[in-house]
Amino acid sequence: MVSRIIVFLLLPICIHAQNFYRGADLSYVNEMEDCGVVYKQNGSPVDPYTLFANEGCQLVRLRLWHHPGWYQSLNSGKLYSDFEDVKKSIQRAKSAGMQVLLDFHLSDSWADPNKQLVPAAWAGVVNNTNLLKDSLYNYVYQTLMKLDAGGLLPEMVQVGNETNRGILLSEADNAKWTMEWPRNAILFNAGLKAVRDAALHSQKPIFSIIHLADPGEAGWLAETFTKNGITDYDAIGLSYYWAWHKPKTIQDCAQVVKTLKQKYQKEVIILETGYIWTLAGNDAANNIINEVSPQYNPPSHDNQYRWLKDLSAAVENAGGMGVLYWEPAWVSSNCSTPWGKGSHQENATFFDFNNNAAKDGGFRWLREGKTQATSEVSGASLITYDSINHSIQYHGSSPAELNLYTLEGKLLANTRLQPSGFYNLSLNVKGLVVVNIKPDKDRSQSITLYLH
């Protein structure tokens, strides 16, 4: 039991703080497939979750709405991004070997810097902060525990989506600018405590995130969070799109990442970005992104790739923990949104207008991040991963003990290695794993690997 507890406490540091994630929000995939979309690679049908995993996606972000009843008047009337749909998506992501970040929007529909409406089910207590706090806590905690009971607990959770103006607002407050920080602090802390309690009771680590839109706004917002006692979280997440956050450049964004990490001693991750590969459309729905940076012009798959490559390099050099792309699979379909028929993002996906995976663009960016390995200590690495021979190479000068763990801390393998020895990994080992080496005459080191 003691060793289990030690692994549980160390895992968030080893995995989350040191691996640089390249990921994607795939919330629309189930809906697109139900609308008749067939995703393809090289012209042949392919499961999109398998495709993204094989191309190097490490982390899948999924939004959760409280009760999106408005879907009942659209298309077939089936609900998406509710609990049942999210369960299906998590299962698909985990089966493909990817980690999951669950995005609690804390609303029945889109939550963003301009809209943070309380779920209709809680409207009766929206002005009673203590009762609303209890509703929020119970919702987050019970959701996570139900997922855990099915073996679907997400590795990461964000409490709120682009919460620049707070969360859980009444219609009256949402119609005007309001920042009730004593109320916000009570609510955010309740949601974050629910995440901590779910991690404690499930005995599995859950990485907690707050989410702010616009690097230009993040500094004062993070300071206000801290001054009001919202500190029990692991990372600050940012949204950064050129179209909405210009003239902030990639380097400006990276400087914000560096400053936030140093000032608040939190991890920093880009939760959302996007970049178009064409100004054309493939349906009647207006596209939401129609601008490109002068440095990445004209729109093309290659410039989409360059944007993501340069952003990732800058964020990683600044100490950030990852970059996630928003809805790279929201292609055109015959279904409608509340605003039009088709997709509002097909010109910024990783697919062409025939739903065939583009070889360049975003998938090229994912492929370049396929194997991520970092060490717990500075200096020469004692272990490296040989992707050709699927083995761990040990470079130490003394015998050592090697341990291989899953994300949940389960021991997969234990062996002794001689100096300059190697360990062949089983082909059945998939997804993110932690390799720890304990030399007899040197400090322990670990690497995090994405295996597929």
**Which residues have C-beta within 8 Å of that of residue 314, sequence separation ≥ 6?**
250, 251, 253, 254
Q: What is the pairing mode between strands 235-239 and 207-213?
A: parallel
CB within 8 Å of 451: residues ≥ 6 apart: 97, 390, 425, 429, 430, 431, 432, 433
Q: Would you state the structure tokens that stand for residue 395, as one six-digit string?
A: 């470079």
- Angle 387-392-395 (CA atoms, 0-180°, nearest 5)? 120
Closest-CA residue to 245 (of 211, 287, 291, 284): 291
Q: Which residues are catalytic?
A: 162, 272
Residue ranges of E strands in 59-123: 59-64, 99-104
Q: What is the DSSP letter of 393?
A: E
- Residue 298: is the preceding peptide bond cis (ω within 30°)? yes
Nearest to 221 by CA among 236, 243, 240: 236
Provide the H-helix boundaries in 203-333.
215-227, 242-245, 250-264, 301-317
| Listed residue (192, 155, 117, 172) closest to 15, CA to CA | 155
Residue showing tokens 């062409």: 352
Map residue 48 onto helix, strand or coil. Answer: helix
State how far Cα 261 lies from the chain centre. 18
* DSSP percent split of the chain into helix, strand, coil, nearest 5: 35, 20, 40
Q: Specify whether the CB–CB gap between 160 and 210 falls below 8 A.
A: yes
